[in-house]
Amino acid sequence: MTTTYTYSLPIGPIHPALKEPIRVVAEVEGERVVRADVKRGFAHRGIEFMGMKRNAIQTLYLSERICGICSISHPYAFVKAVENAIGMEAPPRAQYIRTIIAELERIHSHILWLGVIAHEMGFDPLLYWTWKGREMVMDLLEYLTGNRVNYAMYMIGGVRRDLNEKKIRAIKENMNYYRQFNQEMKDVFMSDPTYKARTRRVSLLTRKDALELCAVGPTARAAGLRMDIRQDQPYDAYADMDVRAVVPQDITGEVMGDAYDVTLVRLYEIDQSIEIIERCLEDLPPGPILAEPNLIKLLMTIKRSEGEGVGRHEAPRGEVMHYVRFDGTRDGPVAWKVKAPSYNNINIWGRVLVGAEIADIPIAVGYIDPCMCCNDRVAEVRRGGRELPYEEVRRKCREKTMRIKREVMG
Amino acid sequence: MILEMLQDPLVRVAFAVLLPIIAIFLGLFYKGLDRKLSARLTSRIGPPIRQPFRDVRKLFLKENIVPENSIPWMFNAMPLVAMATSLTLLLYIPFGPFPAPLEGRGDLIVLLYLLAMQPLAMALGGFASGSPYASVGAQREMVLMMSYEVPLATIIVGFAYLYASVPAAASAVWAPFSLGMIAQTPVWAVVSGPVGIIGLLILLGVLLVVTPAELVKIPFDIAEAETEIAEGLLAEYSGRNLAMFYLSDAVRSFAMCAIVVVLFFPHTLSSLVPLTAYPWNTEPVLFTLETLWFLLKVFIVYFFAVTLVRTSFARIKVDQAAKFFWLHMTLAALFGLLLIYLDVGGWF
């Protein structure tokens, strides 16, 4: 009888495969993972708490800083939630502009993921090439909004910047470029034998698992689930666009739910985004871009309103949901809850990593495009089996800050 | 004149001491070229060509950390073993017009062993580091080594078989396993017909595929996979020890490409261009030209077998690599060997 020995291989919190801190401890037997444990909470910043101390407009721009990549997903969900709570509706032109910016972001986020997954499998030239192509949309976003990231474009009840003829022409030119670039990307990703060898049947997620573990976004769609907030609960301009979820069964005719299918879903979603943007530009209605241009008045409206609101947006990674509550005493939310797509999607690691090889870990980890700072919304500090109360943690933090300050200052 | 001078034992020793130093320089220089070209191929600017020299200098200045749960003597010895074998490997390779310093004291079989020694040293160093990443890397290195050694050995056997078949009268001392002999008699002239040429082309293809695996380069850098096991074998190495591995890798990359050149493209410049027709045909000029010609050939092999391959592929998994070498490459090598057998036997 043979005895097999397992040993644990720690991935993270700091590891070359991870762009942000999270810990995956894989029990490994040879090259095969027999058990995987995920520990999160390394990137908790108390952003919701900070938001509850600020007014709603400040919180809107704070929400942009939740995620480093989707700078528009969180503001989008936040403005929808606030508008839902105070009963406000953005003017049609603003709705269309919001959709255009959100779709531009989807393009850059998906290209970013394609580069990252190529890097995870040691295909760095592909990373350089895809990211070089991504620069165009980043430049466009900078031209439209003033920033490459953290666009500061949205406002409760509208958007802050209008599109003029010159900007519309720039978007159209950009979309022509991306139609061609995406075709090239499809050719490369779908025809490269090593890419296929590394992603086919890797991190398999069945339809049942995806449902059970509440997967969202491209991860769920790759498992064959036709779910997309833009399709199921259309908001803003999406209601006019008739968006259909991109699923692998429509592309190749079969569903595997593996990393290759996710690639397909993301590649075809870029095409979908290009279509949506072009239709938005065609149908762009005239009119104002803000429902309430006077921000003081807007804040007073919020201060006087009581109630709660939920905003949902289909971020590049999946559904992002914000919940806000106003109690009529202050001009910011008294309760703010953020649920990012990675919060759901990280749950599937435990399932897909079992039985995977060590070489598959970076791909299984990368294929949901995890965003740690998006999903870390709570931190629990335990010492000796005891949960430390908030005051004690705060006191210890202050002590440490003072100590470091003394050391640095000498 | 130069060849006669090299007969002198003292000159020979000096040459044997000088060659590794030149080789370290060349290895790092080629590494710099490789990085620059790979960067240009992926539309990056890339580091300056002298970057590997700076890397080595910096590594030698850095602290040499030995992990607590390692086996220190083995951990520290393996970089030296790797470096020594890489340099020894070089002493068996005819360097352009110059004969190998250890000519006549070893042959293709020694070369095979020396090629296997460096990965073995790295694997042992990995096992000795006491880190899970390094252990996984070492396991992978062993699996990979066992996979690509068979096709490599088949190529060596093919060469020995081919040269052994030449009538002994062709040369006074005919050593079929000697690299010097192979360098003087291009292999393409030894085979008699198109079947043999096809067989040789297959062997060349196999050797070019084995080269990146031998040098732990993408797509076969499985043992050092950065995003999977954080540089694997080298995870715990730092400072001087890491610099040793870095240097040995640079020297070995140069040596491996030089072996490909010596085995398959030993043609001298003077055999292609009538150099003697020119008035400046003094011996030093000829030797310089021949050396540059040799370096150019090595560079071309380096570019196609290492730089281009590592910029065009993703890293594959260890089981895929093992299957690829055991099944496809071994079969291809054996088929090439069969064709050479048919050629030598005069069946065609």
Q: Do the Cβ atoms of B316 and A128 come within 8 Å?
A: no
Tell if the CB–CB gap between B317 and A17 is shorter than 8 Å.
no
Nearest by CB: A121 against B41, B311, B314: B314
Angle at alpha carbon of residue B182, lines to B176 and B184, rounded to 5°: 125
Residue A320, token pair as written in the block: 């992002």
Nearest to B326 by CA among B73, B136, B82, B152: B152
Which chain B residues have a beta carbon less than 8 Å from that of A121? 227, 314-315
Query: Burial code of A171-205, b = ≥16 C-beta within 10 A, e = fewer?
Result: beebbeebeebbeebbebbeebebbebbbeebbbb
> Rounded to whole angstroms, how far apart are CA atoms B260 and B183?
11
Using a CB-CB distance cutoff of 8 angstroms, which residues of chain A are in contact with residue B219? 122, 194
pLDDT for the residue numbered B106: 67
CA distance linking residue B77 with residue B175, whole number of Å: 35
Q: What is the pLDDT of residues B55-82, one digit of tens each?
A: 999 988 988 888 888 888 888 888 889 8
Question: In which region does residue A67 sit, left (phi positive, over 0), alpha (psi from -120 to 50) or beta (all else)?
Answer: beta
Those residues whose C-beta lies under 8 Å from the C-beta of residue A72, and which sit 6 or more positions away, are: A64, A101, A102, A105, A151, A153, A154
A14 touches B at CB < 8 Å: no
Q: Evaluate whether the domain defined by A47-341 bears CATH number 1.20.1050.10.
A: no
Side chain identity at residue B280, one-letter code: W
> A43 vs chain B: nearest CA distance in angstroms?
21
Domain ranges of chain B: 2-267+283-344
Q: Which two tokens stand for residue A326?
A: 């106003």
Do A16 and B218 lie within an 8 Å CB cutoff? no
Beta carbons within 8 Å of B46's beta carbon, 6+ residues apart: B35, B36, B37, B38, B39, B40
In this complex, is the C-beta atom of A168 within 8 Å of any C-beta atom belonging to chain B? no
Length of chain A counted residue by residue:
410
CB distance B135–A358 less than 8 Å?
no
Are A8 and A340 in contact by the 8 Å Cβ rule? The answer is no
The residue in chain A having the minimum alpha-carbon distance to the alpha carbon of residue B224 is A122
What is the rounded distance in angstroms from the CA atom of residue A76 to the CA atom of residue A55? 17
Among A57, A263, A257, A77, which Cα is nearest to A160's?
A: A57
Count of C-beta atoms within a 10 Å radius of residue A403: 10
Contact status of A7 with chain B (Cβ, < 8 Å): yes
CB < 8 Å to B131, chain A? none
CB contact under 8 A, A197 and B320: yes
Residue ranges in chain B modelled with pLDDT below 50: 169, 172
pLDDT in tens, B311-337: 888 788 888 888 888 888 888 888 888
Spatial CA neighbour of A78 closest among A93, A96, A57: A57
**What's the burial of B33, exposed, middle or buried (CB within 10 Å: 0-12/13-18/19+)?**
middle
CB contact under 8 A, A129 and B42: yes
**Contact check, Cβ <8 Å, A28/B139:** no
CA-CA distances (angstroms) from residue A279 to A101, A153, A229, A275, A347?
A: 13, 20, 19, 6, 36
Q: Which residues of B touch A125 (CB under 8 A)?
A: 38, 41-42, 311-312
Amino acid at B276: T
Distance of CA A391 to the CA centre of its chain: 32
How far apart CA A30 and CA A7 sit, in angstroms, is 9
Q: Structure tokens of B135?
A: 């252990």
Q: Which of residues 317-356 of A touch B (CB under 8 A)?
A: none
Nearest-by-CA chain B residue for A129: B42
Residues 189-248 of A with CB under 8 A from B: 192, 194-195, 197-198
Nearest CA in chain B to A194: B314
Look at residue B65 and give its three-state secondary structure.
coil
Q: What is the SS3 assignment for A390?
A: helix
Low pLDDT (below 70) residues in chain A? 1-4
What residues in A contact B229, CB-CB < 8 Å? 9, 358
Beta-carbon contacts below 8 Å between A and B = 84
- Tokens for A207? 């339809």
A57-81 per-position pLDDT tens digit = 899 888 888 887 888 889 999 999 9
With beta carbons less than 8 A apart as the criterion, state whether B270 and B290 touch: yes
**Is the Cα dihedral A203, A208, A211, A217 positive or negative?**
positive
- The answer to whether A129 contacts chain B (CB < 8 Å) is yes
Residue in chain A lying closest to B230 (CA): A16
Nearest to B228 among A123, A192, A362 (CB): A362
CA distance B125 to chain A (A): 19
**Do B319 and A9 lie within an 8 Å CB cutoff?**
no
Nearest CA to CA, how far is A270 from chain B (Å)?
Answer: 23
Residue contact B228–A359, C-beta within 8 A? yes
Count of positions (residues) in chain B: 348
Quick one: which of B20, B24, B34, B29 has its CA closest to B50? B29
Q: Is B133 on the interface with A (CB under 8 A)?
A: yes
CB nearest A358 (choices: B228, B314, B316): B228
Contact A229, A216 (CB under 8 A): no
Q: Quote the pTM value.
A: 0.82
Mutation for A interface: B136, B141, B228, B315, most A CBs within 10 A: B228
Q: Is A202 left (phi over 0), alpha (psi -120 to 50) or beta?
A: beta
Nearest CA in chain B to A361: B228
Flag if B226 and A122 touch (Cβ within 8 Å). Answer: yes
Token reading at A120: 């995870």
Provide, as residue numbers in chain B, all residues whose Cβ is less than 8 Å from the Cβ of A197: 314, 316-317, 320
Mutate to test the interface with A, among B209, B227, B315 (most CBs of A within 10 A): B227
Q: Are A372 and A40 in contact (CB under 8 A)?
A: yes
Cα distance from A367 to chain B (closest Cα, Å)? 14
Q: What is the dihedral of CA A278, A280, A284, A287, to 10 degrees?
A: -150
Q: Is A362 on the interface with B (CB under 8 A)?
A: yes
Q: How far is CA A281 from CA A100, A286, B132, in A?
A: 8, 11, 54
Of the candidates B93, B84, B147, B91, the residue with the CA atom closest to the CA atom of residue B117:
B84
pLDDT score of A1: 46
Give dist(CA A114, CA A266) in Å, integer.
Answer: 8
The partner residue sitting opposite B311, judged by closest CB among A10, A125, A361, is A125
Sheet holding A32-39, edge to edge: A7-11, A23-29, A32-39
Q: Which residue of A has its CA nearest to B140?
A: A31
Please give the backbone phi and psi of residue A68, each rounded to the nearest 5 degrees, phi first: -85, -15
Instruction: Indicate the residue of A128, A194, A362 with minimum beta-carbon distance to B316.
Output: A194
Q: From chain A, pick out residues whose CB is under 8 angstroms from the CB of B221.
A: 122
- What secondary structure letter does DSSP report for A52? T
**Looking at this protein, which amino acid is placed at residue A251?**
I
- Contact criterion met (CB < 8 Å) for A121 and B227: yes
